[in-house]
Structure 1
Amino acid sequence: MNLPQTYKNLKTTFCIVLVLLAFSCRSAKSVIASGEASNKLSAKQVIKQHQKNDANFKTMLAKVRIDLIKGEKEQGLTFNFRMEKNKVIWLSAPFGIARMMLTPDKVRFYNKQDNQYFDGDYKLLIDFVGVDLDFLKVQNILLGQAIYNLKDEPYRVEINENSYALQPKDQNALLELFYLINPSHFKMDSLQLFQQLKRRMLQIDYSSYQEVKNQVLPQNIRIIAVEDSDEVAITIEFKSVSLNEDVRFPFKIPTGYKEIVIK
C-alpha cells in the first residue's frame, strides 16, 4: 500500500506512541528472570498469573529515551512522559516542540515545527497498524500486558525457548496472534501480530524488566513495524520514573495551526 507522506509521518509518530511506557526509578532494581517454564502449567494457569501481575498504580512520571531507525536514518530523543492509568497518556518533546495526549475517546497532538495539529479518534491508529486499537489496548502494550482479553476465547500453550507461547486455539486467518510470557514474572517477553494478506507485521519485544515499588514493569523495549517493504525499528530505554505522584497534563493546541484531516 502506497501511503501519502502525511500518513507515513503520522505512522512513524504513532509507532513511537505504542512503546512510550516502561518503568524505572532511582530505587528501581532489575528483575532477574531466573524461572523455568514448566509443561505442567495449563494455558488457563498461565493466563491467570499474567493477569494477576498487571501493574497496579495511579500515576506515573518518566523520561524515556527513544531511538528510531527507518532505512538508513536514525534519530534519538528523550521525552517527558506522564500517565494516569486508564485515563490519560501524555508525551512531550523537549521545550514543548511537540506534544501528544491520548484519552479513552481522543488522539490529539501538535507539532510546533510544522504548525500542524491532529484532533481525532482511534481510527487513525487502527488504519496505521491494522489492529483494532483503543486506549486500553495501547495502555496494555505499554505495560507489558496482552492487548486482547485472554478470557474471550480458548488458548493453547507451548514452551518456546523458556517462554510460555500462548496462541488462540483457532487462529484468525486475517490476523495471527502470538504471546510469549515470561516464566519468572509472567509479563510479556514478546507480542507478535501478523497480517499476511496485507503484508503487515507488528512485533514488540520486552528485553528486560525492573521492579518499581513492588511492581514488575518493562525496562527496555524494541518494536518492529512492517508494512509492505516499509520498516520502522524503535528501541526504548526508560529512566527516572516515579509512581503515584500528583501530575498535570497541560495540552492546548496553539492558535493558527493547520489541522491535519484524514479522509
Structure 2
Amino acid sequence: MAISCKSTKTIASSGEISESISAKQLIRENAKQGAKFKTLQAKVKIDYTQDLQEQGYSVNLRMEKDRTIWINATLGLARAMITPDKVSFYDRINNQFFEGDYALLSNLLGVELNFEKVQSLLLGESLFNLKDGKYTASTNDKSYILQPKEQSALLELFLLLNPSHFKMDSQQLLQPLKKRYLQVDYLAYQDVDKEILPKDIKIIAIENNEEVIIAMEYKSVSLNEEVRFPFKIPSGFKEIILNDAP
C-alpha cells in the first residue's frame, strides 16, 4: 500500500499566454496533465442552489480511477456509487433510491454523461476526447481557448485552458435547440503529490429558464491510499423512476 504524504499547495495561475501556440500543442500539453493516481480521497464542501434555494453539504469523495466514484454525505444521510456500468444512489431523508444508467446525472446537468465524463469533470479534464476532433486555438486575457473547427448546430463547445498547467479553466457547452447551457469553471487548482487537481469548481447548468448552480471545494485531498466503497441500498426504500431521458 502506497501512502500519500499529503503535500498540498494551491497553484498560482501566472502562466504567460503565447499567441503562437497551436491547437495540437495545447491538446498535447493538456494530455500530459492527465491524472495518474490510482486512488483519491477528499472531503468536499458542496453548495447547491436551485430556484434561489441554497443547500450546503459536506461529503467524503473516494475514487479508484477509471473504475469507481463513491460519495458519502455527513452521517451517511446519502450515498452514491458511480461505475462505468451504472449509477446507484440512496438518501435516508426521503427514504428513496436510484439504480440505473446515467440519465439521473444527465438530467441534472443537461448534457449526456457517462463515467469518463463525470470523472473528467471532477478532475479538471476535458469532457471530450480532444484527440478525436479538429480544433482551433485562440486566446483571451487569461486562458487559451479551444473550439471545434466546425461547431455543431446541436452542440457548441468552448474549452478554456490554463496557461500555467494546461488543465481546464472552464468548459462551456451550449445546446441551442434544447435551450441548454452548461458551464464548468475551475476557479483554483492544487498540487497534491505532484498531481494537479481542482480545488474549487463552480458548475452552472441552465435549461430554459431554470438554473442550477453547484459549488465544490476540495479539502484534505490524499492520493494512493487504500480505499473501500461500502454501498448497500437499505430495505424498504422507494425507487426513483425517471420519466424522460435527456
TM-score between the two structures when normalised by the length of structure 2: 0.94
Q: 3-state DSSP class of the match of 1:262?
A: coil
1:120 to 70, 95, 100: 100
Q: CA RMSD in A?
A: 1.5
1:186-237, Cα deviation, whole Å (9 max, x unpaired): 0000000011111111001011111000011111111111111111112121
**Residues 218-257 of structure 1: pairs in structure 2 closer than 5 A:** 218-257=198-237
**Residues 125-164 of structure 1: pairs in structure 2 closer than 5 A:** 125-164=105-144
- Check if 1:46 corresponds to 2:26: yes
User: How far apart are the structure 2 equivalents of 1:178 and 1:169?
Assistant: 11
How many positions carry a matched residue from both structures?
240
Q: 3-state DSSP class of the match of 1:261?
A: coil
1:145-200, Cα deviation, whole Å (9 max, x unpaired): 11111111110000112311000001011110110000110000000001111111
* 1:59 counterpart letter in structure 2: T
Partner of 2:75: 95
State percent identity of aligned pairs: 56
Q: 3-state DSSP class of the match of 1:38?
A: coil
User: How far apart are the structure 1 equivalents of 2:112 and 2:212?
Assistant: 20
Instruction: Give ranges in structure 1 of 5+ residues lacking alignment.
Output: 1-24
**Residues 187-206 of structure 1: pairs in structure 2 closer than 5 A:** 187-206=167-186
Instruction: Give ranges in structure 2 of 5+ residues lacking alignment.
Output: none
1:133, distance to aligned residue in structure 2 (A): 1.5
* 2:80 counterpart letter in structure 1: M
Change (3 A) 1:236 1:127: closer
Partner of 1:74: 54
User: How far apart are the structure 2 equivalents of 1:28 and 1:129?
Assistant: 30
Partner of 1:262: 242
1:64, distance to aligned residue in structure 2 (A): 0.4
